[in-house]
Structure 1
Amino acid sequence: MEDLSLFSLGLLAVALLATGVVAGIVAGLLGVGGGIVIVPVLYYMFTALKIDPAVLMHVAVGTSLATILATGTSSARSHYKRGSVDMDLLKRWWWAIALGVIAGATLAGNISGGALTLVFGFVALAVSANMMFRKDGAHLADSLPGSPVKEVLGFLIGGISVMMGIGGGTLGVPTLTLFNYPIRKAVGTAAAIGLIIAVPGTLSSIWFGLGAEGLPPLSLGYVNLVGFFLIIPASTLTAPLGAKIAHTIDPSKLKLVFALFLGFTGLRMIYGVLF
């Protein structure tokens, strides 16, 4: 897919549109952030389209981060209006998250696609295990730890999230609820954290990908513009459908299915790199 032929561009567009549809439905079904769905789906799509393995994961991560700029802004604004964003915590935590994002983005821009794939694979396994085995309401302590542990947690959330191409929900919500944080506040605050991750993460993906070889057609650095403009409307339009379906299916079974999908994806990524 090195050229800009109509066939290759059309095939890419269809694949990315399908990515948005799948991401929207799954996000609506389970209430999860789009990034944790978009990245593995893009990984499979780009593999099938024979995108250069050297840049495949970088583009999946960069494109996902770019979509969070739009979806995350809408989500964070909605939660803020409902009073579910803990602004006091963000004021004390944002700089540690931002430092983690800068460190993670710099590392991601300078490591191989295989190493980046391993990061996603291992963290996906951890998220899958948390979804399957952690009981509702289980927590480690009654409140967030003090400094410097709290700052280290923020640094890790920012760094790992940007390397995975995800917003704040996947790691932020489980972390906050582990310390007995109210779920609504955790979800709303994590949505705002997603913007702290996505803005520098997207800019870094563009910067480190400029001039890279083997990129899909119409890419700005590691951000594929076709994906950016197709995934956002497709996922936005199909998310309500997923939410509607969710009311007819047992949520616990849906959660298990997605956890198994994440676990399988993580194992497949790790196996593909190591073996």
Structure 2
Amino acid sequence: MITLIIIGSIIGLISSLLGISGGFLLVPILYHYFISLGVPSTTAIKMAIGTSLFTIFLNSLFSLYFSRHQLDLRSSLHIGIFGIFGSFIGAYLTIKVFPEYVIKKIFGFFLIILSIYLIFKKHKDIENFQGNICNKKLSLLGFITGILSSMLGIGGGIIVIPSLNILLSVPIKRAITISIGMISIITFPGVIIYMFSSIGEFDSLYNIGYVSLSTSLTLLPFCITFSKVGAQIKDKINTKYLRYLLAIFILIGGLRMIT
């Protein structure tokens, strides 16, 4: 219980501060939590992903509200809408086709390389850049993010922000607000699929499909509270330090996925 409260607070803070959902932290914690409650391992990992997506979706709505005056809705909607198609594919692949651990290993190494690049690559943010981003590139990014989001139980910000910043030269703070705007869109299809997939009953977890309502609703109040804190302090932090902080969390996510 204490662990869920702490991780809920961390996820709420980084969701608004860095635009990442924290699913890479939440999924392994929920997996071990469900195992400790007697859920079979093959079911526990899918419940961890489904519950993570459900929690991230609800929390993202509050992050969206707290950051509503800074959003880039055009870019967020473009990534989110194409991410919907990818989300359905990713959820299907995880439930029916691929073993989740293989995807985790590959993606984990990718995140580690990405975090190192963010830390050591010299990059100057143009703080006031407001130009439109290429729609085709946003579409492709959204589709790939949607697949990985549903396969790994993440909100997609850990993919979108560094991709926008490194590949498309979008300033880090704008990339964060784009990510905040698209997370609720891109996680919603995965939530629906996991909720309506049939599994055995676990009465103490009050599950709907692969989503444990009791677990998610324990996390949510702390996520929401600290989401507001993150939104309040984001603009007060230097862009350079936001990059370093983002890189650290991406590195942690990569390490968690390969271990």
Please say whether Structure 1 and Structure 2 have the same fold, judged by a TM-score greater than 0.5.
Answer: yes
Give 1 or 2 for the bigger CA radius of gyration. 1
The answer to whether residue 93 in structure 2 is matched with residue 107 in structure 1 is: yes
The answer to whether residue 221 in structure 2 is matched with residue 233 in structure 1 is: yes
Could you tell me how far 1:71 is from its partner in structure 2?
A: 1.2
2: CA distance, partners of 1:60 / 1:154: 23
Could you tell me how far 1:145 is from its partner in structure 2?
A: 5.0
Could you tell me how far 1:217 is from its partner in structure 2?
A: 2.8
The answer to whether residue 251 in structure 2 is matched with residue 267 in structure 1 is: no
The answer to whether residue 61 in structure 2 is matched with residue 45 in structure 1 is: no
Q: Which residue of 2 aligns with 1:129?
A: 113
Give the secondary-structure state (helix, strand or coil) at the position aligned to 1:180: coil
8 Å Cα contact 1:121-1:265 kept in structure 2 = no
8 Å Cα contact 1:144-1:176 kept in structure 2 = no
Q: Tell me which moved more, 188-197 or 29-38.
A: 29-38
Could you tell me how far 1:59 is from its partner in structure 2?
A: 0.9
Change (3 A) 1:211 1:60: closer
Could you tell me how far 1:57 is from its partner in structure 2?
A: 1.4
Choose which of 149, 171, 188 in structure 2 pairs with 1:161: 149
Q: Tell me which moved more, 218-227 or 251-260.
A: 251-260
Could you tell me how far 1:120 is from its partner in structure 2?
A: 3.0
Q: Which residue of 2 aligns with 1:33?
A: 21
Choose which of 165, 175, 185 in structure 2 pairs with 1:186: 175
Deviations, residues 141-182 of structure 1 (Å, cap 9, x unaligned)? x985564x5433321111111211111311111121120123
Could you tell me how far 1:214 is from its partner in structure 2?
A: 6.9
Could you tell me how far 1:121 is from its partner in structure 2?
A: 3.5
The answer to whether residue 110 in structure 2 is matched with residue 119 in structure 1 is: no
The answer to whether residue 184 in structure 2 is matched with residue 195 in structure 1 is: yes
Choose which of 45, 51, 57 in structure 2 pairs with 1:69: 57
Letter matched to residue 175 of structure 1: S
Output aligned runs, 1:240-251, within 5 Å: none
Count of matched residue pairs: 245
1: CA distance, partners of 2:253 / 2:46: 19
8 Å Cα contact 2:50-2:153 kept in structure 1 = yes
Alignment gaps of 5+ in structure 1: 1-12, 269-275
Change (3 A) 1:254 1:199: closer
2: CA distance, partners of 1:60 / 1:165: 8
Q: Tell me which moved more, 51-60 or 232-241.
A: 232-241
Give the secondary-structure state (helix, strand or coil) at the position aligned to 1:167: coil
Could you tell me how far 1:211 is from its partner in structure 2?
A: 2.9
Output aligned runs, 1:88-103, within 5 Å: 89-90=75-76, 92-103=78-89
Letter matched to residue 257 of structure 2: G
TM-score (norm 2): 0.76
Deviations, residues 159-218 of structure 1 (Å, cap 9, x unaligned)? 11121111131111112112012323221221121111221111111112x234679732
Taking only the aligned residue pairs, the percentage that are identical comes to: 24
1: CA distance, partners of 2:249 / 2:30: 16
2: CA distance, partners of 1:108 / 1:52: 16
Change (3 A) 1:200 1:215: farther
